[in-house]
Chain A
Amino acid sequence: MTDAPASSAIREAVSQRLAKRHRAEKRFRAYGVGAIALAVIFLAILLGSIGFQSLGAFTMNTLTLPVTINERQADPRGDGTEESLRRGNYNAIIQDGLRAQFPSVDDRAELRDLFGLYNGVNSASLMRKVVANPSLVGGTTDFTLPLSDDVDLYLKGITVSERFAGRQGALDVVVSDQTVRLESAEPAFADFLTVMRDELIRRADEAAANASRLESAAGAAATRDEREALLSQSRRQAALSVSLRERAEAQGDVVLGTDTPALFLQAEGGVIQVRSVSRDGRIAVGETLLPLQAEGPITAWTEWAVETPSNARRISDRRMVYARALEDRDMVRSGFNTILFTNADSRAPELAGVLGAMIGSILTMLVTMVLAVPIGVGTAIYLEEFAPKNRLTNFIEVNINNLAAVPSIVFGLLGLAIFINLFGLPRSAPLVGGMVLALMTLPTVIISSRAALRAVPPSIREAALGVGASRTQAVFHHVLPLAMPGILTGSIIGLAQALGETAPLLMIGMVAFIADPPTLGLSGFLEPSTVMPVQIYLWSGAAERAFEMRTAAAIITLLSLMIMFNAAAIYLRRRFERRW
């Protein structure tokens, strides 16, 4: 048997396949890199999108309004007692303050737009301010209140797209009964007409695209009914496209309506809303929203084009004008949104905060901690150090491992059936929530504590027993202190998990709308409350855009809390880590 030729033949064969094998190797490795990359990208998108959504909620626009606290409204009984002050009509005081800013506003519809700048609930905080300081009655004071969510989002530039352009030239202003006629020698409104035309054509194109898409979908439809429905939708879109195009190309005056961009003219401290523009762009007809301070022709003005049609935004034309006017008078401030952290839940997005949920979370976590950590550590010590190795112990172990994998919602059902229905504990209470979460967290604490205890080398126990310590003394004097960092880390991780848990708490009714934060004390444990993740769930179901942003902000807050928890765990692990 000669090996040399066989050997070289083998080397030949190996080399031939080698390139292919190395390609397979690269491919396989790429799958691994891809998997990691996917996870990283997903995390980035998740955090990025939520972070981006939350940005708008961390600032808020407040209005500082001089209000006159007259006696008639603030002190209806006229005796200056607290009881009388509490019965005052503070909303009327705020409304009067706003009317003072806009003396020209008197129509009912106009007033509705004006008073919609804030939520009536704010009158309670003015009441508290006056009750706290009765000397304000009879005088004028500055009252700061958050603007309502629509106005706030508008001023943040989130919901409405608009453009301001300063213009120079000569513009004749002819005021007749209801309308204002603006005339210029130059085509002063030509720019806006282009904007308008572009917008109409854009929408016509969109409708045409929809129509053709629907038509092709109809071709592929499975049933006749479906096809008919799709075809009729397609026809409607096509008709819409045609009519929009006609409007864009039409001769004659261009009429601005609720489905077109809007145009305002700011000049001489007043605002005129343009209703129609002549095709040549020289003449515009509109109405005065805020009166101009001077008469006769004007030479400089600001063209304020709002591209979002009024039927596509929640804020009305007039309310926008009032908000901008207040902003121009320097009465609106944008600042850090403290309300988010000082208020409990509210139906009005601008007044809703996470304080109540935070206190609820703290109380719930306290209960969870007090129950889960001692019981969990006790169980771990028993199983690891004392329990005889018999079938019962084995059963407990299997049991704990299984409990760790029981869906959290099942713990909620347990809490509902046992704690609430059987023991008669109150619904929605942090005590019950904490108990349920403690049962849920228990397996985590037990498993990590056992691992920590097991990591303590047997030599330590033997040493302690060797000098005559009892088993209990060996465990409590030597093993437990050494295992403490691991136990703490595991417990903190378990508590962090519980902090983010939602489903079981829904079962026990911690999902109610709760406008008053629970007491941060002994009685708070039995008061109805909610917790951070449930607050997030509740807000995420609300329709308002502002709530969507607040949800994101609440998530960021919750994640920060959890990061703090985990950082503490990591710190403990690093600080006390011991290697044998």
Chain B
Amino acid sequence: MQLSLFTALALLVLTAAGFLLGRRRALAAGQGRAAGLHSLPDYYGYYVAMWTGAPALVLLALYGLFGGMLVNTLALAELERSAEPLGARYESVLEIDPAHAGLRAERDQAEAGRLAAREYADAMFTQHGAESPQMAEAMTDVDGWIAEGERVEAELETRESQLLSQILGAAPDSPQGLAARAGLEYAQLPIERRQLFISDIRALAFGEGMASRDTAELRAAAAVFQPYETTIKWTVCLLAFSIAVIGLARAWRRVAPGFRARNRVEGAISFLLMLSSAIAILTTLGIVMSLLFEAIRFFAAIDWRVHEFLFGTQWSPQIAIRADQIGQSGAFGAVPLFVGTGLITLIAMAVAVPVGLFAAIYLSEYASPGVRAWAKPVLEILAGIPTVVYGFFALLTVGPFLRDFAMLLGYEDAVTQSALSAGLVMGVMIIPFVSSLSDDVINAVPQTLRDGAYAMGATKSEAVRQVVLPAALPGIVGAVLLAVSRAVGETMIVVMAAGQAANLTANPLESVTTITVQIVTLLTGDQEFNSAKTLSAFALGLVLFVMTLMLNIVALRVVQKYREKYD
């Protein structure tokens, strides 16, 4: 870290020097007068500075982003190489160990049994249907074989870890031996736990954060990491420095009175500006790629039963998915989430659309400037309150109030976390959104249309209802669609106030769960990045993204068409 910081500082100094040198050379070439030069002297300075600093700094930035990864890859490769003899010994021990061989045979047997039972069950399914007793019996059989398979698998793992620790214990305590042990341990780790292993090594080697454990093996591995880090760091720093010097020299030589330095510098600036606008595209690309990639992994983990995910009615991701689930009721049936999302959105819209629309109409058509002066800020404050505050309010004030109210009306099963309280509060949150969008839309209706209506003797409300609103309708529809997309994607209010229970219900007084709630639930707490459970969050995220994207595209298109009409 210190070295690269020092290099960066040195580069900055060099860049400043480049500026001064370039400027001086330009002035000298122009005999001290700027008039003889194509560009102002400063531009020559910028030009030289640019070629001094930019490439080297880009190199350093690349090192910052990918250097760690490079070191990890190289060092881990070495670790694994040094573990090869140990690994070979382990493989051979596995081969000859009688207990292990027996378990392997058992596993094959269980697998064969499962396949046979499965085949039988499929036959029963086609002959007697899903609800038949034959089918149930066959499925019990399948379940039995699966349980057997799992048992054998667990025993195999135990035996393997016993043998592994024997092998590891037999390796010498020399640095090479320790490193080999670390390498074997790493090779045997399941993929999702490798990241932690690496970060522990890095913590010990370079003091990045805290190591979760500190063993001799890890220290030996850290010792393998260190030289790679040092070599790569020095190489990069020297390379960066020499690039800077070469860049300075070359650019400096090009400085001449006729040289179009300003155009070069401006070209670089517009390139930078273009680059920054590419970030927006990269962001979208990043979202799409990451969601797609992880969602595909999820669908692969559930054997591509996408329809089960989209149309299944049972959501219980906490239960590990079984290899042999059949029928429509998989544990990853997202319909309850869609219904919950829809229910809450509906309630929110029932609050936000009328109130927001009337507020907008009142503010744009009726309110005196005095009223506008305080009513608009009130709406802006409502819009500016963080959603977590709305969530707290829904959880502690609105939820209990609605529950007590429902109980007073004789509804005994009322709960604090209900679709109604989340929906109501979300509706209030969206009021300013609807009202400010509608306000814009209503104001875009040309005054001549209003004048036309008034001149016919229409009252204000008639002009609004019969002329302004119909004229503004497409825009208002667009605004409502945007509000729906907002409600669908809102997270904190529902996380705090709607509950976690995946009930498939249309009853607003029950707890429901939404897409966003489940994403949060699945991704907070312990993550095993390979389990279908965690990955399903990305599939949900993909659904959410596609839903909101479609709403947004339609809404923005509608609003844009509307604006063009009156512009």
Q: Do A and B bind each other?
A: yes
Majority secondary structure of chain A interface residues (helix, strand, loop or mixed): helix
Q: In the complex, what's the smallest C-beta–C-beta distance from B517 to chain A, in angstroms?
A: 10
Would you call B541 and A216 a contact (CB within 8 A)?
no
Q: In the complex, what's the smallest C-beta–C-beta distance from A45 to chain B, in angstroms?
A: 8
Contacts of B69 in A (CB 8 A): 424
**Which of A217, A417, A551 neighbours the largest number of chain B CB atoms within 10 Å of its CB?**
A417
Q: In the complex, what's the smallest C-beta–C-beta distance from B144 to chain A, in angstroms?
A: 33
Contacts of B548 in A (CB 8 A): 405-407, 410
Q: Does B147 contact A (CB under 8 A)?
A: no
Would you call A470 and B262 a contact (CB within 8 A)?
yes
Given A442-B279, A558-B386: A42 touches B391 (CB 8 Å cut-off) = no
Q: Does B523 contact A (CB under 8 A)?
A: yes
Q: Does B99 contact A (CB under 8 A)?
A: no
Q: In the complex, what's the smallest C-beta–C-beta distance from A445 to chain B, in angstroms?
A: 11
Within 369-391 of B, Cβ neighbours of A (below 8 Å) are at 371, 375, 378-379, 381-382, 384-391
Q: Which residue of A lies closest to B541 (CB)?
A: A413
Q: Which residue of B lies closest to A476 (CB)?
A: B269
Within 128-170 of A, Cβ neighbours of B (below 8 Å) are at none
Q: Does A321 contact B (CB under 8 A)?
A: no
Majority secondary structure of chain B interface residues (helix, strand, loop or mixed): helix
| Segment at the B interface, from A112-120, A301-309, A497-505 | A497-505
Given A402-B553, A407-B488: A46 touches B385 (CB 8 Å cut-off) = yes
Q: Does A403 contact B (CB under 8 A)?
A: yes
Would you call A36 and B361 a contact (CB within 8 A)?
no
Would you call B269 and A472 a contact (CB within 8 A)?
yes
Q: Does A345 contact B (CB under 8 A)?
A: no
Would you call A28 and B544 a contact (CB within 8 A)?
no
Given A401-B556, A443-B280, A502-B388: A40 touches B375 (CB 8 Å cut-off) = yes
Digitize B472-500: 1 where CB-to-A-CB distance is under 8 Å, 0 elsewhere: 00000000001001101111100110000
Q: Which residue of A lies closest to B552 (CB)?
A: A405
Would you call A230 and B412 a contact (CB within 8 A)?
yes
| Segment at the B interface, from A183-191, A241-249, A380-388 | A380-388
Q: Which residue of A lies closest to B465 (CB)?
A: A28
Q: Which residue of A lies closest to B407 (CB)?
A: A213
Would you call B375 and A396 a contact (CB within 8 A)?
no
Q: Does B549 contact A (CB under 8 A)?
A: yes
Digitize B424-442: 1 where CB-to-A-CB distance is under 8 Å, 0 elsewhere: 0000100110010000000
| Segment at the B interface, from A19-27, A101-109, A271-279, A282-290 | A19-27
Would you call A413 and B538 a contact (CB within 8 A)?
yes
Contacts of B393 in A (CB 8 A): 46, 49-50
Q: In the complex, what's the smallest C-beta–C-beta distance from A466 to chain B, in angstroms?
A: 18
| Segment at the A interface, from B51-59, B113-121, B455-463 | B455-463
Within 524-580 of A, Cβ neighbours of B (below 8 Å) are at 526-527, 533-534, 536-537, 540-541, 548, 551-552, 555, 558-559, 562, 566
Q: How far is the CA of A521 from the CA of B496 in the complex (A)?
A: 33
Q: How far is the CA of A288 from the CA of B109 in the complex (A)?
A: 75
Q: How far is the CA of A214 from the CA of B411 in the complex (A)?
A: 10
| Segment at the B interface, from A69-77, A334-342, A371-379, A451-459 | A371-379
Would you call B538 and A408 a contact (CB within 8 A)?
no
Q: Does B96 contact A (CB under 8 A)?
A: no
Would you call B549 and A402 a contact (CB within 8 A)?
yes
Given A21-B459, A410-B545: A216 touches B386 (CB 8 Å cut-off) = no
Would you call B291 and A511 a contact (CB within 8 A)?
no
Would you call A502 and B269 a contact (CB within 8 A)?
no
Would you call B68 and A378 a contact (CB within 8 A)?
no
Contacts of B171 in A (CB 8 A): none
Would you call B359 and A417 a contact (CB within 8 A)?
no
Contacts of B538 in A (CB 8 A): 413, 417
Contacts of A403 in B (CB 8 A): 280, 283-284
Q: In the complex, what's the smallest C-beta–C-beta distance from B139 to chain A, in angstroms?
A: 29
Contacts of A400 in B (CB 8 A): 280
Q: In the complex, what's the smallest C-beta–C-beta distance from B190 to chain A, in angstroms?
A: 16
Contacts of A213 in B (CB 8 A): 410
Would you call B384 and A410 a contact (CB within 8 A)?
no
Within 196-250 of A, Cβ neighbours of B (below 8 Å) are at 213-214, 216-217, 220, 230
Q: Does A520 contact B (CB under 8 A)?
A: no
Q: Does A409 contact B (CB under 8 A)?
A: yes
Digitize B514-526: 1 where CB-to-A-CB distance is under 8 Å, 0 elsewhere: 0010011001100
| Segment at the A interface, from B11-19, B227-235, B299-307, B350-358 | B350-358
Q: Does B273 contact A (CB under 8 A)?
A: yes
**Which of A214, A395, A418, A527 neighbours the largest number of chain B CB atoms within 10 Å of its CB?**
A418
Q: How far is the CA of A439 from the CA of B283 in the complex (A)?
A: 7
Contacts of B459 in A (CB 8 A): 21-22, 24-25
22 A-B pairs in the complex with CB atoms less than 8 angstroms apart: A24-B462, A28-B460, A32-B363, A35-B356, A35-B359, A38-B355, A39-B355, A39-B378, A43-B378, A220-B410, A230-B412, A382-B274, A396-B277, A401-B552, A403-B283, A410-B548, A413-B291, A500-B389, A503-B495, A506-B524, A507-B523, A536-B392
User: Apart from A50-B392, A470-B266, what 13 extra A-B contacts exist at CB < 8 Å?
Assistant: A36-B362, A374-B276, A378-B277, A405-B556, A406-B545, A409-B541, A410-B291, A421-B529, A424-B195, A503-B491, A506-B523, A506-B524, A548-B396
User: Which residue numbers of B lie inside 8 Å of A, CB to CB?
Assistant: 65, 68-69, 195, 208-209, 262-263, 266, 269-270, 272-277, 279-281, 283-284, 286-287, 290-291, 293-294, 354-359, 361-363, 365-367, 371, 375, 378-379, 381-382, 384-393, 395-397, 410, 412, 428, 431-432, 435, 457, 459-462, 464-465, 482, 485-486, 488-492, 495-496, 516, 519-520, 523-524, 529, 537-538, 541, 544-545, 548-549, 551-553, 555-556
User: Which residue numbers of A lie inside 8 Å of B, CB to CB?
Assistant: 14, 21-22, 24-25, 27-29, 31-36, 38-40, 42-43, 45-46, 49-50, 53, 213-214, 216-217, 220, 230, 374-376, 378-379, 381-383, 386-387, 395-396, 398-403, 405-414, 416-418, 421-424, 426, 439, 442-443, 446, 470-472, 496-497, 499-503, 506-507, 509, 511, 526-527, 533-534, 536-537, 540-541, 548, 551-552, 555, 558-559, 562, 566
Q: Which 8 A-B pairs have the closest CB atoms?
A: A407-B489, A32-B362, A500-B386, A417-B290, A378-B276, A35-B358, A28-B461, A503-B491
